[in-house]
Amino acid sequence: MVCGGGPSVVNLLYMAAMVTCRHNNKIIREVYSRLRNSGKTGKVALMACIRKLIVILNAMLKKKQPFCELNS
């Protein structure tokens, strides 16, 4: 479960995680695949991806740097 923020924030994070798992982010896609292969349900794996996205976004804000997949 994602706590905090309103439904619009939760929906935004959910959709962002879905897109990154399927298409363009190697790190998030690997997290999702690893969890699914270990027997987690799709929704549980997706919630873990949302948390991973939040951690990455917080690090980007703290360091004031853009996302660089090579340094993660």
Q: Who wins on pLDDT, 44 or 71?
A: 44
Local structure of 64: helix, strand or coil: coil
**Residue 1 counted as domain residue:** no
| Chain position carrying tokens 């951690």 | 55
Range of the structural domain that residue 16 is part of = 7-71
**Residue 37 counted as domain residue:** yes
- Does the reported pTM lie above 0.85? no
pLDDT of amino acid 71: 52
DSSP characters over 17-30: HHHIIIII-HHHHH
Q: How many domains does the chain have?
A: 1
pLDDT of amino acid 40: 96
- CA distance linking residue 23 with residue 4, whole number of Å: 27
**Residue 2 counted as domain residue:** no
Cβ atoms of 16 and 8 closer than 8 Å: no
Q: Who wins on pLDDT, 47 or 4?
A: 47
pLDDT interval class at 23 (50, 70, 90): confident
